[in-house]
Chains A and B, each alone.
Chain A
Amino acid sequence: AQSVTQLDSQVPVFEEAPVELRCNYSSSVSVYLFWYVQYPNQGLQLLLKYLSGSTLVKGINGFEAEFNKSQTSFHLRKPSVHISDTAEYFCAVLYNTDKLIFGTGTRLQVFP
């Protein structure tokens, strides 16, 4: 079955520290990968996406992610986080269908 795993439900980090949010997916076929951010009581905002090409993808707000086909991973990174990055982050995978499969989310909490 198609699935997306976000290994960490919560990630606490101090401001200006680097952060990595992990995402693994199950599939051996072509996939399209997305990271979304959700602020409280709001919808989803696209951070970045991987469709093809370079495996290192840069997104908004200083985030980047690396697609690793052999490890079926798409980890999200930021070298220096800000208080305003506190939010829920969702990894999502679009398989060879219309269906976007979401991970369970990672709550990033940035402390001053």
Chain B
Amino acid sequence: GAVVSQHPSWVICKSGTSVKIECRSLDFQATTMFWYRQFPKQSLMLMATSNEGSKATYEQGVEKDKFLINHASLTLSTLTVTSAHPEDSSFYICSARDAVRSSYEQYFGPGTRLTVT
């Protein structure tokens, strides 16, 4: 149980275009979802936290107009990178938390590798 999927697992896009990444909780309801960014050989940095039906809370330094997060249902959150540029190339990982199952534990998706050319 507690499986989180991400789609796509790998995407290449041209500079200036937008790309959407989906994060789904497959067997539980995710009251809260988190989006992280990981640069090569570095740690995970939290980008934003979203609760179902509410606006996302962005971490300091993260451009909310560039990284659009939508958490429209209890099983789906999306991250849209708008007008992507090469510096946005990174590994994006989502996680989900089920408040009923655990107040503390986050279940992580497999990640999405974004390459902007």
The residues of A with any CB-CB pair to B shorter than 8 Å are: 32, 36, 41-46, 49, 51, 90, 94, 98-100, 102-105, 107
Contacts and interface: CB of A to CB of B under 8 A. Distances in A.
Interface stretch (B11-19, B63-71, B78-86, B103-111): B103-111
B74 interface: no
Contacts of A44: 44, 93, 95, 108
A32 B104 contact: yes
Contacts of B25: none
Contacts of B93: 43-44
B54 interface: no
Chain B contact surface mostly:
strand
Residue from A94, A100, A105 with most neighbouring chain B CB atoms (10 Å): A100
Contacts of A32: 104
A43 B111 contact: yes
A42 B91 CA distance: 9
Chain A contact surface mostly:
strand
B97 to A, nearest CB: 8
A12 to B, nearest CB: 16
B105 A49 contact: yes
B46 A51 contact: no
B44 A102 contact: yes
A43 B6 CA distance: 10
Given A43-B110, A49-B105, 10 more contacts: A41-B111, A41-B113, A42-B110, A44-B44, A46-B105, A90-B43, A99-B49, A102-B43, A102-B44, A104-B43
B44 A99 contact: no
Contacts of B45: 102
B68 to A, nearest CB: 20
